[in-house]
A and B are shown apart, each in its own frame.
Chain A
Amino acid sequence: MDWTALGLSLRLGLVTVVLLLPLSFLLARWLAFGRFRGRGLVEALVALPLILPPTVVGFYLLVAFGRSSPVGAAFESLFGEPLVFSFEGLVLASLLVNLPFAVQPMQNALAAIPPNVRDAARCCGLSPLQAVRHVELPLALPGIATGAVLTFAHTLGEFGVVLMVGGSIPGETRTISIAIYDRVQAFDEPAAGAMALLLLVIAVVALGITNTLARRAGRRD
Protein backbone atom coordinates (compact mmCIF):
# COMPACT_ATOMS: atom_id res chain seq x y z
CA MET A 1 0.00 0.00 0.00
CA ASP A 2 1.42 3.35 -1.06
CA TRP A 3 0.31 5.60 1.82
CA THR A 4 1.79 8.72 0.26
CA ALA A 5 -0.28 8.13 -2.86
CA LEU A 6 -3.39 7.44 -0.80
CA GLY A 7 -2.84 10.63 1.21
CA LEU A 8 -2.31 12.61 -1.96
CA SER A 9 -5.48 11.23 -3.54
CA LEU A 10 -7.51 12.00 -0.41
CA ARG A 11 -6.14 15.55 -0.34
CA LEU A 12 -6.83 15.99 -4.05
CA GLY A 13 -10.37 14.71 -3.53
CA LEU A 14 -11.03 17.05 -0.61
CA VAL A 15 -9.56 20.12 -2.29
CA THR A 16 -11.55 19.37 -5.43
CA VAL A 17 -14.81 18.93 -3.52
CA VAL A 18 -14.35 22.08 -1.44
CA LEU A 19 -13.40 24.24 -4.42
CA LEU A 20 -15.88 22.72 -6.84
CA LEU A 21 -19.06 22.66 -4.74
CA PRO A 22 -19.58 26.44 -4.43
CA LEU A 23 -18.77 27.01 -8.10
CA SER A 24 -21.00 24.15 -9.16
CA PHE A 25 -23.84 25.33 -6.95
CA LEU A 26 -23.85 28.70 -8.68
CA LEU A 27 -23.65 27.06 -12.09
CA ALA A 28 -26.36 24.51 -11.20
CA ARG A 29 -28.63 27.29 -9.93
CA TRP A 30 -28.12 29.29 -13.10
CA LEU A 31 -28.91 26.23 -15.21
CA ALA A 32 -31.89 25.17 -13.09
CA PHE A 33 -33.64 28.54 -12.80
CA GLY A 34 -32.18 30.69 -15.55
CA ARG A 35 -34.10 31.18 -18.74
CA PHE A 36 -31.61 32.16 -21.39
CA ARG A 37 -30.58 31.30 -24.92
CA GLY A 38 -27.83 28.77 -25.24
CA ARG A 39 -28.67 26.89 -22.06
CA GLY A 40 -28.49 23.63 -23.96
CA LEU A 41 -25.00 24.52 -25.09
CA VAL A 42 -23.83 25.29 -21.54
CA GLU A 43 -25.35 22.03 -20.30
CA ALA A 44 -23.60 20.13 -23.07
CA LEU A 45 -20.28 21.75 -22.16
CA VAL A 46 -20.74 20.82 -18.50
CA ALA A 47 -21.52 17.22 -19.46
CA LEU A 48 -18.61 16.98 -21.90
CA PRO A 49 -16.11 15.36 -19.49
CA LEU A 50 -18.55 12.45 -19.05
CA ILE A 51 -18.10 11.27 -22.62
CA LEU A 52 -14.80 12.81 -23.67
CA PRO A 53 -11.88 10.35 -23.39
CA PRO A 54 -9.66 11.39 -20.46
CA THR A 55 -6.66 11.38 -22.79
CA VAL A 56 -8.38 14.05 -24.90
CA VAL A 57 -8.98 16.18 -21.81
CA GLY A 58 -5.36 15.58 -20.75
CA PHE A 59 -4.04 16.49 -24.17
CA TYR A 60 -5.93 19.79 -24.26
CA LEU A 61 -4.85 20.58 -20.69
CA LEU A 62 -1.23 20.07 -21.74
CA VAL A 63 -1.81 22.36 -24.71
CA ALA A 64 -3.74 24.96 -22.72
CA PHE A 65 -1.67 24.99 -19.52
CA GLY A 66 1.71 23.74 -20.72
CA ARG A 67 4.84 25.85 -20.44
CA SER A 68 4.45 27.41 -23.85
CA SER A 69 0.80 28.41 -23.36
CA PRO A 70 -0.09 31.89 -22.07
CA VAL A 71 -1.76 30.45 -18.94
CA GLY A 72 1.12 28.08 -18.22
CA ALA A 73 3.72 30.79 -18.79
CA ALA A 74 1.86 33.25 -16.53
CA PHE A 75 1.58 30.64 -13.77
CA GLU A 76 5.26 29.78 -14.06
CA SER A 77 6.37 33.40 -13.88
CA LEU A 78 4.13 33.96 -10.84
CA PHE A 79 5.02 30.87 -8.84
CA GLY A 80 8.32 29.84 -10.39
CA GLU A 81 6.99 26.33 -11.09
CA PRO A 82 5.19 25.05 -14.15
CA LEU A 83 1.50 24.26 -13.70
CA VAL A 84 1.68 20.85 -15.37
CA PHE A 85 3.28 18.03 -13.35
CA SER A 86 2.30 19.81 -10.11
CA PHE A 87 -0.39 19.26 -7.49
CA GLU A 88 -1.99 22.57 -8.50
CA GLY A 89 -2.18 21.34 -12.08
CA LEU A 90 -3.95 18.19 -10.90
CA VAL A 91 -6.42 20.29 -8.90
CA LEU A 92 -7.22 22.32 -11.99
CA ALA A 93 -7.63 19.20 -14.13
CA SER A 94 -9.72 17.60 -11.42
CA LEU A 95 -12.05 20.63 -11.21
CA LEU A 96 -12.69 20.45 -14.95
CA VAL A 97 -13.29 16.70 -15.25
CA ASN A 98 -15.53 16.62 -12.19
CA LEU A 99 -17.81 19.44 -13.31
CA PRO A 100 -20.67 17.17 -14.46
CA PHE A 101 -20.44 15.00 -11.34
CA ALA A 102 -20.95 18.05 -9.12
CA VAL A 103 -23.31 20.14 -11.25
CA GLN A 104 -25.81 17.59 -12.51
CA PRO A 105 -27.10 16.24 -9.16
CA MET A 106 -27.37 19.78 -7.79
CA GLN A 107 -29.12 21.02 -10.89
CA ASN A 108 -31.63 18.16 -10.70
CA ALA A 109 -32.23 18.79 -7.01
CA LEU A 110 -32.76 22.52 -7.56
CA ALA A 111 -35.00 21.98 -10.57
CA ALA A 112 -37.16 19.67 -8.44
CA ILE A 113 -38.03 22.47 -6.02
CA PRO A 114 -41.63 23.39 -6.87
CA PRO A 115 -41.89 26.93 -8.31
CA ASN A 116 -44.58 27.83 -5.76
CA VAL A 117 -42.15 27.16 -2.91
CA ARG A 118 -39.70 29.66 -4.36
CA ASP A 119 -42.57 32.11 -5.02
CA ALA A 120 -43.69 31.72 -1.43
CA ALA A 121 -40.19 32.51 -0.22
CA ARG A 122 -40.16 35.67 -2.27
CA CYS A 123 -43.68 36.68 -1.08
CA CYS A 124 -42.59 36.22 2.52
CA GLY A 125 -40.05 38.94 1.92
CA LEU A 126 -36.90 36.83 1.83
CA SER A 127 -34.08 38.44 -0.10
CA PRO A 128 -32.62 36.27 -2.91
CA LEU A 129 -29.64 35.46 -0.66
CA GLN A 130 -31.95 34.50 2.23
CA ALA A 131 -34.03 32.38 -0.14
CA VAL A 132 -30.90 30.52 -1.17
CA ARG A 133 -29.89 29.97 2.41
CA HIS A 134 -33.25 29.04 3.95
CA VAL A 135 -35.05 27.40 1.03
CA GLU A 136 -32.84 26.29 -1.83
CA LEU A 137 -29.81 25.00 0.07
CA PRO A 138 -31.80 22.84 2.50
CA LEU A 139 -34.05 21.45 -0.23
CA ALA A 140 -31.12 20.76 -2.57
CA LEU A 141 -28.99 19.24 0.17
CA PRO A 142 -29.31 15.62 -1.04
CA GLY A 143 -28.22 16.77 -4.50
CA ILE A 144 -25.30 18.72 -3.06
CA ALA A 145 -24.22 15.74 -0.96
CA THR A 146 -24.52 13.44 -3.97
CA GLY A 147 -22.40 15.83 -6.01
CA ALA A 148 -19.79 15.92 -3.26
CA VAL A 149 -19.62 12.13 -2.89
CA LEU A 150 -19.47 11.51 -6.64
CA THR A 151 -16.80 14.17 -7.12
CA PHE A 152 -14.70 12.76 -4.31
CA ALA A 153 -14.98 9.16 -5.47
CA HIS A 154 -14.38 10.06 -9.09
CA THR A 155 -11.28 12.08 -8.17
CA LEU A 156 -9.78 9.04 -6.42
CA GLY A 157 -10.42 6.99 -9.54
CA GLU A 158 -9.31 9.46 -12.20
CA PHE A 159 -6.48 7.96 -14.22
CA GLY A 160 -6.16 9.09 -17.81
CA VAL A 161 -6.01 12.81 -17.20
CA VAL A 162 -3.61 12.41 -14.28
CA LEU A 163 -1.37 10.18 -16.40
CA MET A 164 -1.25 12.83 -19.12
CA VAL A 165 -0.63 15.94 -17.00
CA GLY A 166 0.72 14.47 -13.76
CA GLY A 167 3.87 12.48 -14.46
CA SER A 168 3.61 10.16 -11.42
CA ILE A 169 5.77 12.22 -9.06
CA PRO A 170 5.70 10.74 -5.53
CA GLY A 171 3.94 13.03 -3.06
CA GLU A 172 3.08 15.53 -5.79
CA THR A 173 1.15 13.88 -8.63
CA ARG A 174 1.30 10.12 -7.99
CA THR A 175 -2.31 9.46 -7.05
CA ILE A 176 -3.49 6.08 -5.85
CA SER A 177 -4.82 5.03 -9.25
CA ILE A 178 -1.45 5.87 -10.83
CA ALA A 179 0.30 4.01 -7.99
CA ILE A 180 -1.71 0.88 -8.83
CA TYR A 181 -0.52 1.10 -12.44
CA ASP A 182 3.09 1.60 -11.27
CA ARG A 183 2.97 -1.28 -8.79
CA VAL A 184 1.67 -3.67 -11.47
CA GLN A 185 4.61 -2.71 -13.67
CA ALA A 186 6.94 -3.30 -10.74
CA PHE A 187 5.56 -6.85 -10.40
CA ASP A 188 4.25 -5.90 -6.97
CA GLU A 189 0.82 -7.47 -7.28
CA PRO A 190 0.06 -7.63 -3.53
CA ALA A 191 0.37 -3.84 -3.21
CA ALA A 192 -1.58 -3.26 -6.43
CA GLY A 193 -4.25 -5.66 -5.19
CA ALA A 194 -4.56 -3.97 -1.81
CA MET A 195 -4.95 -0.52 -3.37
CA ALA A 196 -7.38 -1.78 -6.01
CA LEU A 197 -9.51 -3.36 -3.29
CA LEU A 198 -9.51 -0.11 -1.33
CA LEU A 199 -10.73 1.84 -4.39
CA LEU A 200 -13.38 -0.81 -5.01
CA VAL A 201 -14.66 -0.47 -1.44
CA ILE A 202 -14.68 3.33 -1.67
CA ALA A 203 -16.63 3.16 -4.94
CA VAL A 204 -19.22 0.79 -3.46
CA VAL A 205 -19.61 2.94 -0.35
CA ALA A 206 -19.92 6.10 -2.48
CA LEU A 207 -22.66 4.55 -4.61
CA GLY A 208 -24.39 3.28 -1.49
CA ILE A 209 -24.43 6.78 -0.04
CA THR A 210 -25.68 8.42 -3.23
CA ASN A 211 -28.43 5.82 -3.65
CA THR A 212 -29.55 6.32 -0.06
CA LEU A 213 -29.57 10.08 -0.57
CA ALA A 214 -31.57 9.72 -3.78
CA ARG A 215 -34.13 7.48 -2.04
CA ARG A 216 -34.46 9.92 0.83
CA ALA A 217 -34.95 12.83 -1.55
CA GLY A 218 -37.58 10.80 -3.40
CA ARG A 219 -39.47 9.97 -0.20
CA ARG A 220 -39.79 13.60 0.81
CA ASP A 221 -41.62 14.62 -2.37
Chain B
Amino acid sequence: MVLLVTATLLAAQVALAQHGVPASTAAPLVAAASDLQFALDEIVRRFQGDTGIAPRITYGSSGNFARQIEQGAPFELFLSADESYVLRLAERRLTRGPGSLYAIGRLVLFVPHGSPLQPDPQLKHLAARLASGDAGRLAIANPEHAPYGRAAEQALRSLGLWEAARPKLLYGENVAQAAQFASSGNADGGIVAYSLALAPALRERGTFALLPEELHAPLRQRMVLLERASPAAARLYDYLRSPASREILRQHGFVLPEN
Protein backbone atom coordinates (compact mmCIF):
# COMPACT_ATOMS: atom_id res chain seq x y z
CA MET B 1 0.00 0.00 0.00
CA VAL B 2 2.82 2.35 0.95
CA LEU B 3 4.38 1.42 -2.34
CA LEU B 4 1.23 2.35 -4.23
CA VAL B 5 0.99 5.73 -2.53
CA THR B 6 4.65 6.48 -3.23
CA ALA B 7 4.21 5.48 -6.83
CA THR B 8 1.17 7.73 -7.16
CA LEU B 9 3.07 10.69 -5.77
CA LEU B 10 5.98 9.97 -8.10
CA ALA B 11 3.69 9.92 -11.10
CA ALA B 12 2.07 13.16 -10.06
CA GLN B 13 5.51 14.68 -9.86
CA VAL B 14 6.46 13.44 -13.32
CA ALA B 15 3.25 14.95 -14.63
CA LEU B 16 3.91 18.27 -12.92
CA ALA B 17 7.63 18.42 -13.67
CA GLN B 18 7.06 18.50 -17.40
CA HIS B 19 4.65 21.36 -16.91
CA GLY B 20 7.05 23.45 -14.87
CA VAL B 21 9.04 24.89 -17.77
CA PRO B 22 7.28 27.49 -19.88
CA ALA B 23 8.21 26.02 -23.24
CA SER B 24 6.58 28.87 -25.12
CA THR B 25 9.60 31.16 -25.07
CA ALA B 26 11.89 28.57 -26.65
CA ALA B 27 9.62 26.88 -29.16
CA PRO B 28 6.60 28.92 -30.22
CA LEU B 29 3.47 26.91 -30.93
CA VAL B 30 2.12 27.46 -34.41
CA ALA B 31 -1.22 26.34 -35.85
CA ALA B 32 -1.06 26.35 -39.63
CA ALA B 33 -3.52 25.56 -42.39
CA SER B 34 -2.50 22.29 -43.99
CA ASP B 35 -2.01 23.82 -47.46
CA LEU B 36 1.13 25.39 -45.95
CA GLN B 37 2.59 21.97 -45.09
CA PHE B 38 5.55 22.22 -47.49
CA ALA B 39 6.03 25.97 -47.86
CA LEU B 40 6.03 26.64 -44.12
CA ASP B 41 8.36 23.72 -43.39
CA GLU B 42 10.86 25.34 -45.75
CA ILE B 43 10.44 28.83 -44.29
CA VAL B 44 10.76 27.49 -40.76
CA ARG B 45 13.93 25.57 -41.61
CA ARG B 46 15.51 28.86 -42.70
CA PHE B 47 14.08 30.72 -39.72
CA GLN B 48 15.60 28.11 -37.42
CA GLY B 49 18.96 28.46 -39.16
CA ASP B 50 18.87 32.24 -38.83
CA THR B 51 17.56 32.54 -35.27
CA GLY B 52 18.05 29.20 -33.52
CA ILE B 53 14.37 29.23 -32.60
CA ALA B 54 12.60 25.93 -33.35
CA PRO B 55 8.86 26.52 -33.74
CA ARG B 56 6.49 23.63 -33.03
CA ILE B 57 3.99 23.42 -35.86
CA THR B 58 0.66 21.66 -36.04
CA TYR B 59 -1.05 21.41 -39.43
CA GLY B 60 -4.79 21.03 -39.76
CA SER B 61 -7.98 22.65 -40.97
CA SER B 62 -8.38 26.35 -40.20
CA GLY B 63 -11.91 25.94 -38.87
CA ASN B 64 -10.78 23.32 -36.37
CA PHE B 65 -7.93 25.51 -35.18
CA ALA B 66 -10.26 28.49 -34.72
CA ARG B 67 -12.53 26.36 -32.55
CA GLN B 68 -9.60 24.99 -30.54
CA ILE B 69 -8.19 28.48 -30.00
CA GLU B 70 -11.57 29.64 -28.73
CA GLN B 71 -11.56 26.65 -26.39
CA GLY B 72 -8.16 27.65 -25.00
CA ALA B 73 -5.61 25.78 -27.11
CA PRO B 74 -2.19 27.28 -26.33
CA PHE B 75 -1.20 28.33 -29.88
CA GLU B 76 0.81 31.53 -30.29
CA LEU B 77 0.62 32.08 -34.03
CA PHE B 78 -2.24 31.06 -36.29
CA LEU B 79 -1.87 30.88 -40.07
CA SER B 80 -5.35 30.44 -41.42
CA ALA B 81 -6.31 29.54 -44.98
CA ASP B 82 -9.30 31.84 -44.67
CA GLU B 83 -9.29 35.27 -43.13
CA SER B 84 -12.81 35.01 -41.70
CA TYR B 85 -11.59 32.70 -38.92
CA VAL B 86 -8.84 35.15 -37.97
CA LEU B 87 -11.19 38.11 -38.02
CA ARG B 88 -13.70 36.25 -35.86
CA LEU B 89 -11.00 35.46 -33.28
CA ALA B 90 -9.89 39.11 -33.43
CA GLU B 91 -13.46 40.23 -32.75
CA ARG B 92 -13.47 38.03 -29.66
CA ARG B 93 -10.23 39.67 -28.54
CA LEU B 94 -8.23 36.45 -28.65
CA THR B 95 -5.61 37.91 -31.00
CA ARG B 96 -3.17 40.78 -31.14
CA GLY B 97 -4.94 42.95 -33.65
CA PRO B 98 -6.30 41.79 -37.00
CA GLY B 99 -3.04 40.19 -38.23
CA SER B 100 -2.03 40.36 -41.86
CA LEU B 101 -2.80 38.81 -45.21
CA TYR B 102 0.12 36.61 -46.22
CA ALA B 103 -1.04 34.70 -49.28
CA ILE B 104 -3.90 33.96 -51.60
CA GLY B 105 -4.47 30.30 -52.30
CA ARG B 106 -5.34 28.64 -55.59
CA LEU B 107 -7.15 25.40 -56.40
CA VAL B 108 -6.16 22.59 -58.74
CA LEU B 109 -7.77 19.43 -59.99
CA PHE B 110 -5.18 16.81 -59.13
CA VAL B 111 -5.33 13.44 -60.88
CA PRO B 112 -3.10 10.50 -59.90
CA HIS B 113 -1.25 8.47 -62.51
CA GLY B 114 -3.45 5.69 -63.82
CA SER B 115 -6.71 7.49 -63.15
CA PRO B 116 -9.22 7.55 -66.04
CA LEU B 117 -9.85 11.26 -65.31
CA GLN B 118 -8.12 13.98 -67.38
CA PRO B 119 -7.31 17.24 -65.61
CA ASP B 120 -8.45 20.42 -67.34
CA PRO B 121 -9.09 23.91 -65.92
CA GLN B 122 -12.82 23.94 -66.66
CA LEU B 123 -13.33 20.36 -65.39
CA LYS B 124 -14.84 19.39 -68.76
CA HIS B 125 -13.70 15.79 -68.60
CA LEU B 126 -15.00 15.47 -65.05
CA ALA B 127 -18.35 16.89 -66.23
CA ALA B 128 -18.51 14.37 -69.08
CA ARG B 129 -17.71 11.47 -66.77
CA LEU B 130 -20.28 12.63 -64.23
CA ALA B 131 -22.90 12.92 -66.99
CA SER B 132 -22.17 9.43 -68.31
CA GLY B 133 -22.17 7.96 -64.82
CA ASP B 134 -18.58 6.69 -65.09
CA ALA B 135 -17.04 9.07 -62.58
CA GLY B 136 -15.23 7.60 -59.61
CA ARG B 137 -14.55 9.24 -56.27
CA LEU B 138 -13.42 12.85 -56.06
CA ALA B 139 -11.62 14.06 -52.93
CA ILE B 140 -12.12 17.53 -51.47
CA ALA B 141 -11.53 18.95 -47.98
CA ASN B 142 -14.56 19.09 -45.70
CA PRO B 143 -16.37 22.34 -46.67
CA GLU B 144 -17.77 22.68 -43.17
CA HIS B 145 -14.50 23.64 -41.55
CA ALA B 146 -11.80 23.61 -44.25
CA PRO B 147 -11.53 26.75 -46.43
CA TYR B 148 -10.19 24.77 -49.41
CA GLY B 149 -13.19 22.47 -49.13
CA ARG B 150 -15.49 25.46 -49.26
CA ALA B 151 -13.64 26.84 -52.29
CA ALA B 152 -13.83 23.43 -54.01
CA GLU B 153 -17.57 23.36 -53.41
CA GLN B 154 -17.89 26.90 -54.85
CA ALA B 155 -15.88 25.90 -57.93
CA LEU B 156 -18.07 22.84 -58.52
CA ARG B 157 -21.19 24.97 -58.05
CA SER B 158 -19.89 27.65 -60.47
CA LEU B 159 -19.50 24.98 -63.12
CA GLY B 160 -22.92 23.51 -62.35
CA LEU B 161 -21.38 20.22 -61.26
CA TRP B 162 -22.10 20.25 -57.52
CA GLU B 163 -25.31 18.21 -57.50
CA ALA B 164 -23.89 15.60 -59.88
CA ALA B 165 -20.55 15.42 -58.05
CA ARG B 166 -21.96 15.25 -54.53
CA PRO B 167 -22.58 11.49 -54.38
CA LYS B 168 -19.00 10.95 -55.57
CA LEU B 169 -17.27 13.20 -53.05
CA LEU B 170 -14.79 11.95 -50.52
CA TYR B 171 -14.14 14.42 -47.69
CA GLY B 172 -10.73 14.91 -46.13
CA GLU B 173 -10.52 16.37 -42.65
CA ASN B 174 -8.34 19.08 -44.16
CA VAL B 175 -6.94 19.79 -47.61
CA ALA B 176 -3.76 17.78 -47.03
CA GLN B 177 -5.81 14.70 -46.22
CA ALA B 178 -7.94 15.32 -49.33
CA ALA B 179 -4.70 15.51 -51.36
CA GLN B 180 -3.51 12.32 -49.72
CA PHE B 181 -6.78 10.57 -50.68
CA ALA B 182 -6.47 11.90 -54.24
CA SER B 183 -2.82 10.97 -54.68
CA SER B 184 -2.94 7.50 -53.19
CA GLY B 185 -5.03 6.21 -56.09
CA ASN B 186 -8.04 5.70 -53.81
CA ALA B 187 -9.95 8.32 -55.79
CA ASP B 188 -10.06 9.41 -59.43
CA GLY B 189 -8.70 12.75 -58.31
CA GLY B 190 -9.25 15.65 -55.99
CA ILE B 191 -9.76 19.39 -55.91
CA VAL B 192 -6.94 20.51 -53.64
CA ALA B 193 -4.47 23.29 -52.93
CA TYR B 194 -2.06 24.35 -55.68
CA SER B 195 0.65 24.58 -52.99
CA LEU B 196 0.28 20.87 -52.24
CA ALA B 197 0.09 19.80 -55.91
CA LEU B 198 3.44 21.54 -56.54
CA ALA B 199 5.18 19.59 -53.76
CA PRO B 200 7.51 16.83 -54.97
CA ALA B 201 5.60 14.21 -52.97
CA LEU B 202 2.49 14.90 -55.05
CA ARG B 203 4.05 15.92 -58.31
CA GLU B 204 5.57 12.51 -58.81
CA ARG B 205 2.22 10.84 -58.24
CA GLY B 206 0.10 12.59 -60.81
CA THR B 207 -0.79 15.60 -62.90
CA PHE B 208 -2.98 18.61 -62.27
CA ALA B 209 -4.75 21.56 -63.84
CA LEU B 210 -4.93 24.97 -62.17
CA LEU B 211 -8.55 26.13 -61.83
CA PRO B 212 -9.40 29.74 -62.80
CA GLU B 213 -9.61 32.11 -59.84
CA GLU B 214 -13.08 33.29 -60.84
CA LEU B 215 -14.60 29.91 -59.97
CA HIS B 216 -14.49 30.56 -56.24
CA ALA B 217 -14.21 33.32 -53.67
CA PRO B 218 -10.53 34.15 -53.16
CA LEU B 219 -8.78 32.11 -50.48
CA ARG B 220 -7.48 35.11 -48.57
CA GLN B 221 -5.05 33.59 -46.10
CA ARG B 222 -4.50 35.65 -42.98
CA MET B 223 -2.17 35.05 -40.07
CA VAL B 224 -2.29 36.54 -36.61
CA LEU B 225 -0.42 36.49 -33.32
CA LEU B 226 -2.59 35.17 -30.55
CA GLU B 227 -3.01 36.60 -27.06
CA ARG B 228 -0.30 34.46 -25.50
CA ALA B 229 2.31 34.96 -28.26
CA SER B 230 5.91 35.00 -27.02
CA PRO B 231 8.62 37.28 -28.49
CA ALA B 232 9.87 34.21 -30.42
CA ALA B 233 6.44 33.84 -32.03
CA ALA B 234 6.47 37.53 -32.91
CA ARG B 235 9.85 37.08 -34.59
CA LEU B 236 8.47 34.25 -36.71
CA TYR B 237 5.48 36.43 -37.63
CA ASP B 238 7.84 39.17 -38.84
CA TYR B 239 10.02 36.63 -40.63
CA LEU B 240 6.98 35.34 -42.53
CA ARG B 241 6.43 38.86 -43.88
CA SER B 242 10.02 39.21 -45.11
CA PRO B 243 10.80 39.18 -48.86
CA ALA B 244 12.62 35.84 -48.49
CA SER B 245 9.59 34.12 -46.98
CA ARG B 246 7.25 35.71 -49.50
CA GLU B 247 9.43 34.35 -52.28
CA ILE B 248 9.16 30.83 -50.85
CA LEU B 249 5.38 31.18 -50.64
CA ARG B 250 5.32 32.35 -54.26
CA GLN B 251 7.41 29.36 -55.35
CA HIS B 252 4.92 27.08 -53.65
CA GLY B 253 2.07 28.42 -55.75
CA PHE B 254 0.65 31.12 -53.53
CA VAL B 255 -0.38 34.46 -54.96
CA LEU B 256 1.16 37.24 -52.89
CA PRO B 257 -1.09 40.01 -51.64
CA GLU B 258 0.03 43.62 -52.02
CA ASN B 259 1.44 44.51 -48.63
Name A residues whose Cβ lies closer than 8 Å to a Cβ of B. Answer: 11, 14-15, 18-19, 21-22, 25, 62, 66-67, 72, 76, 79, 81-82, 84-88, 91, 129, 132-133, 167-172, 174, 182, 184-188
Could you name 11 residue pairs across A and B whose Cβ atoms are closer than 8 Å?
Answer: A11-B18, A21-B7, A72-B72, A85-B72, A85-B73, A85-B74, A174-B58, A185-B37, A185-B174, A186-B37, A188-B201
Given A22-B7, A85-B68, A186-B59; A167-B14 close (CB under 8 Å): no
How long is the Cα–Cα vector from A170 to B76 in the complex, in angstroms? Answer: 13
Query: A19 is contacted by which of B11, B23, B74, B174 (Cβ under 8 Å)?
Result: B11
How would you classify the secondary structure of chain A's contact residues: helix, strand, loop or mixed? helix
Q: How distant is B39 from chain A, measured CB to nearest CB, in Å?
A: 13
Contacts of A19 in B (CB 8 A): 8, 11-12
Contacts of A72 in B (CB 8 A): 72
Q: Are B12 and A184 in contact (CB under 8 A)?
A: no
Contacts of B131 in A (CB 8 A): none
> Number of A-B pairs whose CB atoms are under 8 Å?
97
Given A18-B8, A62-B71, A133-B1; A169-B59 close (CB under 8 Å): no
Interface 1/0 per residue, B1-34 and A, CB below 8 Å: 1001101101110110011000100010100001
Q: Are A185 and B201 in contact (CB under 8 A)?
A: no
Q: Using CB atoms, name the residue of chain B closest to A81.
A: B74
Query: B19 is contacted by which of A14, A88, A168, A188 (Cβ under 8 Å)?
Result: A88
Q: Are A169 and B72 in contact (CB under 8 A)?
A: no
B12, B56, B71, B177 — most chain A CB neighbours (10 Å): B71
Contacts of B202 in A (CB 8 A): 187
